[in-house]
């Protein structure tokens, strides 16, 4: 059985950044396992610009951003296998090592011994089946990511008249992309009273092309037998129930679904790792180690990010954490629990350990609703530890702050909340 210090599941932006970081921290035996035919992950189909402003201080397209990290991995001679599906991760008998079971066409089913594993599988789109939209099941209904791949990678046009359900970033970007290709985007319908995407994408992808955004609206029926011929949309009340009197028919031949992303965690659950029900990702410590010792997780498999730059930054910490463990510097077993308070939907990491390597702890979180002129408050449940003002906060934009470790010296828990 082949042995490695670190096996990384996923060769997208998270896996590549983790591998490069681990290598730069002195680990040589690293293997990336990628199920696709090339490295780069979802970035290969994201041909629009806007990537890399934080990491490289310049604006890049998705493939350009991925290529920067691929080149770094190649320059560092990091080993990788493509078209390889990881089936299972288990503990080796009589050892703290992990057994990674994978398969591909060349080697068949095989096992790899790993001292540590980094999970970087990314996320998947929520499907139409999860929405329970009434009506028939004709052709012409795609997830926004599938449509993006068909248009950008395959060179296929998915439709001429389009209605988009959901205002996630992929849906907003595809509204602009379909317009570039000559299609007419009739409307973007969003169930919530606010958009799920970044403010810059609403401005650049919808407003610049006069594409209507219908907030507090949803599709209540799909029309068509062989192919979509239209949809009925309606406004929803405060309980998100359609209002019958507001129903409106919109003619279209294509529906794109941009209704959320779900972290890809079947392997995580199979390994017995504790899952946070709010993020649908594994609970992690500040070094990105999960509840299973020696298994780390990073990127969209932990929680859905809106900027790939933050994915790379987080994944570099996971690679460094795995490297420290292999070098014989395991972190403390216990940690401070991190909880979401008023108006906060989740916080990552869920646990913080004492560490002398870093003076600050990065906290990522999202708020539950649109907020203006508020303060982020960090407390130990009783006493206020820190407070940060914010002019504007939205659920579609992930918040990030660096918390000084010296504030946490005598804490057993901290609560992140919003004072309105």
Question: Which residues have CB under 8 Å from 117's CB, separation 6+?
Answer: 6, 7, 8, 9, 89, 98, 100, 294, 295, 296
3 state SS of 367: strand
Give long-range contacts, CB 8 A cutoff, 24+ apart: 356-359: 357/324, 358/286, 358/405, 359/404, 359/405, 359/406
pLDDT (average), residues 233-238 = 95
Size (the chain), residues: 420
CA atoms within 13 A on the CB side of 313: 17
Residues of the chain within CATH 3.50.50.60 domain(s) are: 1-125+260-331, 127-259
pLDDT recorded at residue 92: 85
Question: Which residues have CB under 8 Å from 197's CB, separation 6+?
Answer: 167, 168, 169, 171, 172, 306, 396
pLDDT digits (tens, 9 = 90+) for 243-264: 999 999 999 999 999 988 999 9
Residue 383: how many CB atoms within 10 A of its CB?
8
pLDDT recorded at residue 260: 86
CATH code matching the domain that covers 127-259, chosen among 3.40.50.10140, 3.50.50.60, 3.30.1360.30, 3.40.640.10: 3.50.50.60
Q: Are 136 and 250 in contact (CB under 8 A)?
A: no
pLDDT level of residue 38 (50, 70, 90 thresholds): very high
pLDDT over 90 (residue 19): yes
DSSP-assigned beta bridge partners for residue 135? 222
- Mean pLDDT over the full length of the chain: 93
Q: Are 365 and 348 in contact (CB under 8 A)?
A: yes
At the second CATH level, the architecture of 1-125+260-331 is: 3-Layer(bba) Sandwich (3.50)
CA distance 174 to 162: 10
Question: Which residues have CB under 8 Å from 98's CB, separation 6+?
Answer: 7, 89, 90, 91, 92, 113, 114, 115, 116, 117, 294, 295
CA angle 72, 78, 83 (to 5 degrees): 105
pLDDT (average), residues 5-12 = 98
Percent of the chain whose predicted confidence (pLDDT) is above 90: 86
CA distance 101 to 99: 6
pLDDT level of residue 94 (50, 70, 90 thresholds): confident
pLDDT over 70 (residue 128): no
What does residue 418 show for φ and ψ, rounded to 5 degrees?
-115, 130
pLDDT recorded at residue 276: 96
Nearest to 242 by CA among 219, 224, 258: 219
Return the structure tokens found at 252.
């279209």
Q: Scanning the structure block, which residue is given the tokens 């590549």?
A: 16
pLDDT (average), residues 49-75 = 96
CA distance 308 to 54: 9
pLDDT digits (tens, 9 = 90+) for 183-220: 999 999 999 999 988 889 999 999 999 999 999 999 99
pLDDT level of residue 319 (50, 70, 90 thresholds): very high
pLDDT level of residue 80 (50, 70, 90 thresholds): very high
CA distance 172 to 206: 7
pLDDT (average), residues 86-93 = 92
pLDDT (average), residues 258-278 = 94
pLDDT digits (tens, 9 = 90+) for 348-388: 999 998 776 788 999 999 999 999 999 999 999 889 999 99
């Amino acid at each position: 059985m082949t042995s490695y210090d670190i096996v990384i599941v996923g060769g997208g932006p998270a896996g590549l950044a983790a591998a490069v970081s681990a290598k730069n921290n002195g680990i040589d035996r690293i293997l990336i396992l990628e199920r696709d035919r090339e490295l780069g992950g979802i970035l290969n189909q994201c041909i629009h610009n806007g990537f890399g402003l934080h990491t490289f201080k310049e604006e890049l397209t998705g493939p350009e951003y991925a290529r920067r990290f691929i080149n770094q991995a190649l320059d560092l001679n990091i080993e990788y296998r493509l078209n390889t599906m990881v089936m299972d991760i288990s503990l080796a008998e009589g050892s703290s090592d992990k057994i990674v079971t994978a398969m591909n066409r060349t080697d068949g089913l095989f096992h790899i011994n790993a001292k540590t594993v980094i999970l970087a599988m990314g996320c998947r789109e929520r499907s139409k089946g999860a929405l329970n939209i009434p009506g028939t099941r004709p052709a012409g209904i795609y997830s926004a990511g599938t449509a993006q791949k068909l248009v950008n990678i395959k060179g296929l046009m998915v439709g001429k008249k389009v209605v988009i359900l959901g205002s996630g970033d992929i849906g907003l970007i595809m509204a602009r992309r379909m317009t570039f290709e000559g299609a007419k985007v009739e409307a973007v319908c969003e169930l919530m009273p606010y958009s799920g995407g970044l403010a810059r994408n609403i401005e650049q992808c919808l407003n610049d092309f006069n594409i209507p955004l219908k907030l507090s609206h949803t599709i209540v029926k799909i029309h068509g037998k062989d192919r979509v011929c239209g949809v009925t949309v309606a406004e929803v009340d405060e309980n998100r129930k359609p209002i019958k009197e507001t129903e409106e028919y919109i003619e279209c031949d294509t529906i794109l679904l941009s209704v959320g992303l779900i972290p890809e965690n079947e392997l995580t659950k199979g390994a017995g790792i504790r899952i946070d029900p709010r993020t649908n990702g594994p609970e992690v410590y500040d070094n990105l180690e999960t509840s299973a010792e020696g298994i780390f997780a990073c990127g969209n498999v932990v929680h859905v990010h809106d900027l790939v730059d933050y994915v790379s930054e987080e994944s570099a910490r996971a690679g460094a954490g795995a490297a420290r463990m292999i070098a014989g510097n395991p972190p403390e077993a216990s940690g401070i629990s991190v909880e979401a308070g008023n108006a906060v939907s989740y916080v990552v990491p869920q646990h913080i350990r004492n560490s002398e390597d870093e003076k600050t702890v990065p906290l990522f979180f999202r708020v539950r609703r649109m907020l203006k002129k508020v303060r982020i408050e960090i407390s130990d449940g009783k006493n206020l530890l820190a407070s940060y003002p914010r002019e504007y906060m939205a659920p579609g934009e992930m918040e990030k702050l660096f918390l000084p470790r010296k504030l946490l010296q005598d804490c057993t828990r901290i609560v992140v909340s919003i004072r309105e």
